[in-house]
Chain A
C-alpha cells in the first residue's frame, strides 16, 4: 500500500520569506506523525498546502497514491488549526452539523456521527448552547469532534492539547490512539516535545523552511546519542587512569555519568569496572530527550526569522 501522504520538493515562497523551501517527506498509513519546528519555521504553511488552502509554488503532493486534488480530497482530511475557530453565536449542534456537511456528509450521516461523538465526550446537553457559553476547554473538545467527525483518512492537529486540563488532554490523547489504531493517519504539530515523545512514531523537524531531521523517535535518539551512560556504584569512580575505556562526566553520591571513549563498547566498560572490583548497582544508557535534540538543532539559528527579499 502506498503511503497516505507524500510530499515531493514542496516550495512556497512569499514576498518576503521562503516559507517552505524544498521539503520532501513521507507519511505512512496509521502513523502518528510529529511535525515539529520552532515558531515561524514554516509548519503552518506546509499544513496549509496539505489541506488545500495554499497551492505550492513548486513540487508535488501525492495523497493516497494519487496527485492531491484539493476540491475532492479535502473531504478525506480533517484539520484543526492552532488558532481555534467556531461561530460564537451559532448553536453547537447546528455548528457541528454545518461543518460536517461542508465536509460532504449527508444530514443523516452527520447526525448519527455527531450523536455518537457527543455521547462519547459527554456533550449531549450542549446541543442548543452557543459557543460563547462554552469554556475554552469545552470549545476545544467541540473543535476536535468537528475535525474528526467525517472519519478522515488524514487528520492534522495543530497543538491539540493547548488549553486543555490533564483529564481532557488524556481523553483527546486516547482518541488520537484509537483513531490511529482504526486506520487514520495523524499529523501532529506541536512544540511540546514531551508529548511528541509520548505519542509520535515518526518525527520531522523543520526550521527556516527546510527539513532538518526525519526519522522514527528511536532512530533520532540513537542518531543524537552522545554515548553517555549512568552507572550506580558502591565505591567512588575515577577515570584518571589512562586506560579506562570511558571518561567521567559527572558524579553525585553513588551515581555517575560517563562518556564511553571512541572505539569502546558498554561491555568494555563493564568488564573494566568488574576487573577493578567495583560493585555495580545499575548501568543505563542515557539517550537525549527530543527536547535536547530540538534545542541543539535549532539553537544558534535566530529565534525569529528575518524578512528578506526572495528571488523566486
Chain B
C-alpha cells in the first residue's frame, strides 16, 4: 500500500508541476467559452445584408409598406422595382442589387407560394431567412389591411398563443431547459476527461515501457501496483483540474454577486445562476458527477493502460489498438445526445445502465431529477454495474499489463491480449 502511495505521488507531482497542466487548466474554460460565444459570433457575422430587388406582379406590394419595414429592420434592404425590370433580370449587379425576387400574380387569400431569391451567387439560408422574414411581415400587413384587422386585434393575434412544455408531476421543480444544459455540460466534461486523461495513462505506460524503466520498477513493486498507482495518480490530476475549475466558477459567481448591484450583466448572470441552482439538486448532481467521473475514469483508464503496456513506442500501433476503446466513448456521446432529448426513453435508460456508456449517459439524465426522471433503482443499478465493470476492467488490464510491460517486439492482437488475461501466472 505504501508503495502505491509513492507511485501515486510521483505520477501526480510530475504532472501537476508541468507548465502544460497550468496552461491547460487556465485555457480550457476560456476555450470552452470562446467556442460557445465564437460560434454565435461567427453565425451572426456570416449573415450577409442583401440588397434585394422586388419585382411585383401581384400588385399588393407598395413602396411605402416596404420602406416601413426597411426602417424597422436594416439587416437587408428591399426595393420595389417597377421599371427597368428586364435590365435587372439581365444583370442585377450592374443595377446595384445582390439579387431579385419575382412575386407572381397571387391572390392574398391563398398566397402560399414558393418564391426564389435569384442571384448569380449562392447565399446561405441565414442570409435569405432575413429576407424571407421581412417579406412575410409585409405580407402580413397586406393581409391585415385586407381583412381590416386593426392594431389592437393584431396584438391579440400575435400575443395569444398556447405553449406546451414537459413537466414531470413527480418532480415539479424540474426545469427542462436547465436540466438539458447541465446534462450537456456534465456529459461532455466526462467525455473530455475520459479521452484526454485516458490517453495520458496510455502514454505514461508507453513511456515506462520504451524507457525500459518498467523492469526496474517491477523488481520493486508488483506490476498491478505500478498500474494502479499510475491510474490513481493521473485520476487525481484530473480531479485537481476539476476543483480548480469549480473554484473558478465559484469565484466568478461570488464576485458577480458582490458587485451585483452595479453591473447589469453580472446581476443577470448571478440571477440566472441562482434560478438554475434552485431548480436542480446541486449536491446530488455534484456527488453523481464525482462518482461517474471517477468510476468511468477507472473503467477506461485501465483499458488504455493495458494498451499502453502491450504496444511499443509506435504511436500508430497504440492508436489502432485503442480505436475500439475510443469508439466506446464516442458511442456514449451519441447515446447521450439521444438521452437528453428523451431522458426516459429506452436508449436513455439502457445507455445509462450499461457500464461502458453509463458515466456519460447517466450524467445527462440526472439533472432532470431523481427520482422524478431517473428512478432510484436505475441509479443504484447503474452505479453497482459500473463498480463491477471497473473492477473487471482493472483486473483484466492488470493481467495484460503484467505480461505486456516486459514484452517487446510484435504488437499483440486483441485476441492475444485476452489470452494473456485468462492464462495462469
B residues near A80, Cβ cutoff 8 Å: 216
Taking a contact as CB atoms closer than 8 A, the residue among A74, A87, A98 that contacts B6 in the complex is A98
A85-B222 contact, Cβ under 8 Å, with A98-B6, A98-B10, A101-B6? no
Chain B binding surface SS class = helix
Query: Is A83 positioned at the interface, with any CB of B under 8 Å from its CB?
Result: yes
B residues near A86, Cβ cutoff 8 Å: 211, 213, 216
A79-B10 contact, Cβ under 8 Å, with A85-B211, A86-B211? no
CA A48 to CA B407, docked complex, whole Å: 13
**In the complex, are the beta carbons of B217 and A102 less than 8 A apart?**
yes
Determine which residue in B7, B213, B218 has the highest number of CB atoms from chain A within 10 A of its CB, and name it: B213
Query: Is A278 positioned at the interface, with any CB of B under 8 Å from its CB?
Result: no
A79-B216 contact, Cβ under 8 Å, with A90-B14, A98-B10? yes
B residues near A83, Cβ cutoff 8 Å: 212, 215
Residue of A at shortest CB range from B213?
A85
A52-B219 contact, Cβ under 8 Å, with A90-B14, A98-B6, A102-B3? yes
CA A219 to CA B218, docked complex, whole Å: 36
Query: Is A181 positioned at the interface, with any CB of B under 8 Å from its CB?
Result: no
CB distance from A147 to the nearest CB of B (A): 8
Query: Is A71 positioned at the interface, with any CB of B under 8 Å from its CB?
Result: yes
**Chain B count of residues within 8 A CB distance of the other chain:** 21
CA A159 to CA B215, docked complex, whole Å: 15
* CB 8 Å contact bits of B212-239 with A (1 = contact, 0 = none): 1111111111100000000000000000
CB distance from B284 to the nearest CB of A (A): 40
Query: Is B122 positioned at the interface, with any CB of A under 8 Å from its CB?
Result: no
Residue of B at shortest CB range from A90?
B14
A residues near B425, Cβ cutoff 8 Å: 55
Query: Is A103 positioned at the interface, with any CB of B under 8 Å from its CB?
Result: yes
**In the complex, are the beta carbons of B220 and A102 less than 8 A apart?**
yes
- Please report which residues of chain A, range 84-108, place their CB below 8 angstroms from some CB of chain B when the two chains form the complex: 84-90, 98-99, 101-104
A residues near B208, Cβ cutoff 8 Å: 85, 87
**In the complex, are the beta carbons of B214 and A99 less than 8 A apart?**
no
**In the complex, are the beta carbons of B211 and A88 less than 8 A apart?**
yes
CA A79 to CA B217, docked complex, whole Å: 10
CA A101 to CA B221, docked complex, whole Å: 11
Query: Is B103 positioned at the interface, with any CB of A under 8 Å from its CB?
Result: no
A85-B212 contact, Cβ under 8 Å, with A102-B3, A102-B6? yes
CB distance from B134 to the nearest CB of A (A): 62
Query: Is B135 positioned at the interface, with any CB of A under 8 Å from its CB?
Result: no
Residue of B at shortest CB range from A52?
B219
Query: Is B406 positioned at the interface, with any CB of A under 8 Å from its CB?
Result: yes
Residue of A at shortest CB range from B3?
A102
CA A74 to CA B14, docked complex, whole Å: 26
Determine which residue in B219, B221, B406, B425 has the highest number of CB atoms from chain A within 10 A of its CB, and name it: B219
* CB 8 Å contact bits of A172-192 with B (1 = contact, 0 = none): 000000000000000000000
Total CB contacts across the A-B interface at under 8 A: 57
Query: Is A215 positioned at the interface, with any CB of B under 8 Å from its CB?
Result: no
CA A123 to CA B208, docked complex, whole Å: 24
Residue of B at shortest CB range from A80?
B216
**In the complex, are the beta carbons of B215 and A53 less than 8 A apart?**
yes
Query: Is A40 positioned at the interface, with any CB of B under 8 Å from its CB?
Result: no
A85-B214 contact, Cβ under 8 Å, with A55-B425, A102-B3? yes
**In the complex, are the beta carbons of B213 and A87 less than 8 A apart?**
yes
**In the complex, are the beta carbons of A51 and B219 less than 8 A apart?**
yes
A residues near B211, Cβ cutoff 8 Å: 85-88
CA A261 to CA B207, docked complex, whole Å: 62
CB distance from A84 to the nearest CB of B (A): 6
A residues near B10, Cβ cutoff 8 Å: 98
CA A131 to CA B6, docked complex, whole Å: 20
**In the complex, are the beta carbons of B220 and A99 less than 8 A apart?**
yes
- Please report which residues of chain A, range 23-61, place their CB below 8 angstroms from some CB of chain B when the two chains form the complex: 48, 51-53, 55
Residue of B at shortest CB range from A150?
B220
CA A265 to CA B212, docked complex, whole Å: 55
Query: Is A81 positioned at the interface, with any CB of B under 8 Å from its CB?
Result: yes
CB distance from A149 to the nearest CB of B (A): 12
CA A89 to CA B207, docked complex, whole Å: 10
Determine which residue in B7, B213, B216, B406 has the highest number of CB atoms from chain A within 10 A of its CB, and name it: B216
CB distance from A79 to the nearest CB of B (A): 4
Residue of A at shortest CB range from B14?
A90
Query: Is A77 positioned at the interface, with any CB of B under 8 Å from its CB?
Result: yes
- Please report which residues of chain B, range 5-41, place their CB below 8 angstroms from some CB of chain A when the two chains form the complex: 6-7, 10, 14
B residues near A88, Cβ cutoff 8 Å: 211
Determine which residue in B7, B10, B214, B215 has the highest number of CB atoms from chain A within 10 A of its CB, and name it: B215
Residue of A at shortest CB range from B5?
A101
B residues near A87, Cβ cutoff 8 Å: 207-208, 211, 213
**In the complex, are the beta carbons of B221 and A102 less than 8 A apart?**
yes
CA A48 to CA B405, docked complex, whole Å: 13
A residues near B217, Cβ cutoff 8 Å: 102
CB distance from A104 to the nearest CB of B (A): 8
Residue of B at shortest CB range from A50?
B219
**In the complex, are the beta carbons of A81 and B212 less than 8 A apart?**
yes
CA A84 to CA B406, docked complex, whole Å: 13
B residues near A74, Cβ cutoff 8 Å: 219-221
B residues near A53, Cβ cutoff 8 Å: 215, 218-219, 406
**In the complex, are the beta carbons of B3 and A81 less than 8 A apart?**
no
CA A71 to CA B425, docked complex, whole Å: 16
**In the complex, are the beta carbons of B219 and A79 less than 8 A apart?**
yes
**In the complex, are the beta carbons of B219 and A77 less than 8 A apart?**
yes
CA A52 to CA B224, docked complex, whole Å: 13
CA A71 to CA B222, docked complex, whole Å: 8
CA A68 to CA B14, docked complex, whole Å: 34
Residue of A at shortest CB range from B221?
A102
CB distance from B265 to the nearest CB of A (A): 44
| A-B pairs, 3 with minimum CB distance | A85-B212, A85-B213, A102-B220
With A53-B218, A87-B208 known, 16 other A-B pairs at CB within 8 A are A70-B222, A71-B222, A74-B221, A75-B220, A79-B219, A85-B213, A85-B216, A86-B211, A86-B213, A88-B211, A98-B6, A98-B10, A102-B3, A102-B6, A102-B220, A104-B3
Between-chain CB contacts (< 8 Å), 15 pairs: A51-B219, A53-B215, A70-B222, A77-B219, A79-B215, A79-B219, A83-B215, A84-B212, A86-B213, A87-B213, A88-B211, A98-B10, A99-B216, A102-B6, A102-B217
